[in-house]
Amino acid sequence: MIGNKIKAMLEDNGDFLIPADRVANVQVDNNLDHALLVLTNIGYTIIPVLDHHGNIKGLISMPVIMKAITGLKDIHFDQLSDLSVSEVMKTDFAQVEEDYELEDVLHLLVDNPFVCVTDDSGSFKGIITRKVVLAATNRLAHEFENLYEVHEKAEQLN
Residues in contact with ligand AMP by the rule CB under 6 A: 18, 22-24, 44, 46-47, 113-114, 129-131
Using Cβ positions, the residue closest to ligand AMP within the complex turns out to be 131
CB of 61 to ligand AMP, least distance (A): 8
Q: How many CB atoms lie within 10 A of CB 136?
A: 18
Q: Between 6 and 46, whose beta carbon lies closer to ligand AMP?
A: 46
Nearest in space to 34 (alpha carbons), one of 55, 65, 68, 63: 65
Local structure of residue 155 (DSSP, 8 states): P
Q: Which is nearer to ligand AMP, 5 or 131 (CB)?
A: 131
Q: How far is the CB of 152 from ligand AMP (least distance, A)?
A: 34
Nearer to ligand AMP, 8 or 24 (CB): 24
> Closest approach of Cβ 29 to ligand AMP, in Å?
19
- Phi/psi for 90 (5° steps) reads -85, 125
Those residues with Cβ within 8 angstroms of residue 29's Cβ, 6 or more apart along the chain or in another chain: 84, 85, 86
